[in-house]
Structure 1
Amino acid sequence: MTSRVPRKAAPGPAAVRVTQLGPDWVEGPDGVPFRRGARLVLLDAAGRVLMVRGHDVDNPSRSWWFTVGGGIDPGETGVAAAVRELREETGFVVDPADVVGPVARRRAVFDFAARTVRQDEEFFLARLPEPGPIRTDGWTDVERAFMDEVRWWDLDALEAVAEEVFPADFVPLVRELLTGWDGVVRALPDEGLVG
């Protein structure tokens, strides 16, 4: 059985559009908002991976799958940020001592909240053998505006989805991590960067 939290009905035309980035975003020297991010590759006992589906607020027909995670707050470690984001976005709690990595890193430029932004991401790995129900009551207003659902994915099924999956080469990365992390930090392809 797949755990799945469906998205609430789409807001009507009078809905407030998200235009403000959170406080973890700072303007870079080139004027592009920037932040450091921590993401969590979370596996259950069956080897399924937890993913979030989001959509482009300005183009709701475009959606994609991505890992739980978000910005690293000032003074926070990547592991602490990944664990915090997991709790806020799903209600799941993992002990920071059980989180390994970073197992991978990437740099990405993408559109978010009607702005082009840049994020340097660290990916960590954790396991949650008996996860229980997914909870989304910790979502922020920004998350509610673009996040649609959270669910566990079998890797073969995730590899076959029609929507984009971020980061690029994610399923092969997870396949390498199923038996544990070998201590090598993988460099994932940078996304959206030019030059």
Structure 2
Amino acid sequence: MTEIPQDLPIFERDVVRIVLRDAADRILLFHTHEITAPELGQWWELPGGGIDEGETYLETALRELREETGISISPEQVGAPTWRRTASFRHRDRRHLQHEVVVAVRLDRKGEAIDGAGRFDYEREDYFDYRWWPIADVVASSEQFYPRSLPQLLTRFLAGYEIDEPFELWS
């Protein structure tokens, strides 16, 4: 594993990321930036967040989608955590070390406008836009994503492959 920089206090947690796919085969991504590190630029990222104490990955996926997008889903719509990864990045003057699982969620309708009213204040500052991306556009894109490997791994993940991604030092 790559050495984790000792540049900031480390905040370690377990996280669920969600590939939310609509009936038109598009996935939801947030356009974001890190206001304390403008040199990182902007990127597109999967919805998701930290697993609270006593929560399962499934409960976290349901809660995070509701908080970040206003979209409520049933537990049956959440796929198994078949993509596993560990990543580190700078955020708000801390170094995050995240053990992440990625799950697929399929909507039975076309993706619509989202409601971010349930977001934390820092999420309202960080997420300045969103887009429902056609899968082929993500795969072909040269834009920056979190996870960085999303364009390369998305098709395999949605096809049901198990993915154990190497450690990613994102920033």
Alignment TM class, shorter chain as reference: 0.7 to 0.9
Contact (CA 8 Å) 1:167, 1:188: kept in 2 or not? no
Contact (CA 8 Å) 1:90, 1:150: kept in 2 or not? no
Q: Distance in 2 between matches of 1:53 and 1:158?
A: 13
Aligned residue among 138, 159, 162 for 1:185: 162
What is the CA deviation profile of residues 106-142 of structure 1, one whole-angstrom value per residue up to 9, with x for unaligned ones? 0011001122120100111110131332111111111
Partner of 2:30: 52
**How big is the shift at 1:35?**
0.7
Q: Distance in 2 between matches of 1:177 and 1:191?
A: 17
Gaps of 5+ in 1: 1-30
Q: Secondary structure at the match of 1:101?
A: coil
1:83 maps to 2:62: yes
Between Structure 1 and Structure 2, the one with more helix by share is: 2
**How big is the shift at 1:77?**
0.4
Which has the higher Rg, Structure 1 or Structure 2? 1
Aligned residue among 96, 114, 117 for 2:93: 114
1:173 maps to 2:153: yes
Partner of 1:18: none
Q: Secondary structure at the match of 1:119?
A: strand
Q: Distance in 1 between matches of 2:117 and 2:83?
A: 29
Across the two proteins, how many residue pairs are aligned to each other? 161
Q: Secondary structure at the match of 2:63?
A: helix
**Aligned-residue CA RMSD (Å):** 2.1
Identity, in percent, stands at 36
Partner of 2:119: 139
What is the CA deviation profile of residues 1-48 of structure 1, one whole-angstrom value per residue up to 9, with x for unaligned ones? xxxxxxxxxxxxxxxxxxxxxxxxxxxxxx521110011111111211
Q: Distance in 1 between matches of 2:138 and 2:65?
A: 20
Runs of 4+ in 1 over 3 A off after TM superposition: 159-163
1:56 and 1:162, CA in 2 relative to 1: closer, same or farther beyond 3 A?
A: farther
Q: Distance in 2 between matches of 1:172 and 1:138?
A: 31
| TM-score, scaled to structure 1 | 0.75
Partner of 2:11: 33
Q: Distance in 2 between matches of 1:144 and 1:98?
A: 26
